[in-house]
Amino acid sequence: MTFRSCALLCVLGAGLALAACGDSADDGNQVALGGNGGTGAKGGSVGTDGGIGAFSGTGGGGLGDADVCAADSYAAKPAPVDLYIMLDQSTSMNNKLPDGKTLWSAITGAISDFVASPAASGIGVGIQYFGLGTGAAACNVAQYATPDVPITALPGAQAAMQASLSKHGPQSFTPTGPALEGALQYAKTWATAHPERTTIVVLATDGYPSECQPQSTQGLADLATAALSGTPRVFTFVIGIGSLWNLNNVAKAGGTREALIVSDTSTNAAAELQAALLAVATAPLACDYPIPTPEDGGSAVIGKINVEFTDPNGQKRLLGWVKSAADCNQVNDGWYYDDPTNPTRIMICPKSCTGFGTGKLDILLGCDTVVVR
């Protein structure tokens, strides 16, 4: 644990200035962020550029000497992860890799090795395939919302997953739209029942949609956006085999920044696919964190919690609190509680989540919460 000074907290975003730690917003025990410059407190001047003034009170949104408070800092620890894999079983999965393996054998081998890996222990995993059926039947969303293997924690899910993979093979076209929609429906139901965990749909495919609607990557991205902004929210991770860079839009919309693309000319595709699955399951999404327990054994005080992001260059910035997921669109960097009346988790707004990249997140306890008006 380290200690920080609230008086040194940085600008939330362009056009916003931080008011003093000692002054509260209307909601109680919260510091307001004004618009376009804002007003400094206790000796600070009125901001003209949204900047943070020094202790002398000069500059935009200045801070006075009396406005110093100490915050306990805790490294944010992401919630455990559950994966629902939606696996493409289109006939193009019979195409060969340079090592002579088919795409299908490479990706199913990677999934099989993943579920057997000690590094995956404790991760939840389930699976379904697309397409199922032919013609109009392939477009039936409900069948993709019903898992072939329900999400179960590893290593308990290993046998069922490996048995499922052995019973399937390339046989269809590519109805990606209804497959993703159904996967997100199942994942939302699961996430509702397991709010203490982070639920991710893993869309694994070697091609773009070829039947059913939507067939555009924008249409797929819209589905991912709706799932990410919903309650409970569900993330979408994309693993593409081949030159499928347009799927980056779907991954970004789903809160996971970019697709993991494995080249179909790679001589080590199976190992790359297994590494991709482990990356999905073990890399922090920086989006969903339990509220830490203070070292003194008490409870964190609502209204005295802040969230701070540090980029790879060591630059720090605060995220402002908003009342709900619906209010996220009004901020560049923001967060909210999972339950406004009985919160247990900190949820990072989707726009902030997708923009983080590498870096680290800390949860600060003890200073008035910085809010966005």
What pLDDT was estimated at residue 77? 80
- Torsions phi, psi of 325, nearest 5? -60, -30
Show the DSSP H helices in 261-334 as ranges.
Answer: 269-282
Sign of CA dihedral 208, 213, 353, 123: negative
DSSP 342: S
Nearest in space to 135 (alpha carbons), one of 104, 96, 173, 81: 173
What pLDDT was estimated at residue 270? 82
What pLDDT was estimated at residue 31? 54
Residue 119, judged by CB atoms within 10 A of its CB (0-12, 13-18, 19+), counts as exposed
DSSP 52: P
Q: Which residue shows structure tokens 């989006």? A: 287
What pLDDT was estimated at residue 358? 65
Q: How many residues appear in the chain? A: 373
Nearest in space to 357 (alpha carbons), one of 310, 308, 288: 310
Q: What is the pTM of this model?
A: 0.69
Report how far residue 1's alpha carbon sits from residue 166's, in angstroms, rounded to the nearest whole number: 48
* Per-residue b or e along 15-40, where b marks 16 or more CB atoms closer than 10 Å to that residue's CB: bbbbbbbbebbeeeebbbbbeebbbb
Residue 314, judged by CB atoms within 10 A of its CB (0-12, 13-18, 19+), counts as exposed
What pLDDT was estimated at residue 56? 24
What pLDDT was estimated at residue 357? 61
Tens digit of each residue's pLDDT, the chain (373 residues): 433 433 323 323 332 333 333 333 444 455 544 333 333 333 332 222 222 222 222 223 333 333 468 889 998 887 789 999 999 999 999 999 888 889 999 999 999 999 999 988 999 999 999 988 888 899 999 999 999 999 999 999 999 999 999 999 999 999 999 999 999 999 999 999 998 888 999 999 998 999 999 999 999 999 999 998 888 889 999 998 887 888 999 998 998 878 888 888 888 888 888 888 887 776 555 577 889 989 887 888 999 999 998 988 889 989 999 998 888 888 878 999 988 888 988 988 877 776 666 678 899 999 999 997 5
What pLDDT was estimated at residue 153? 97
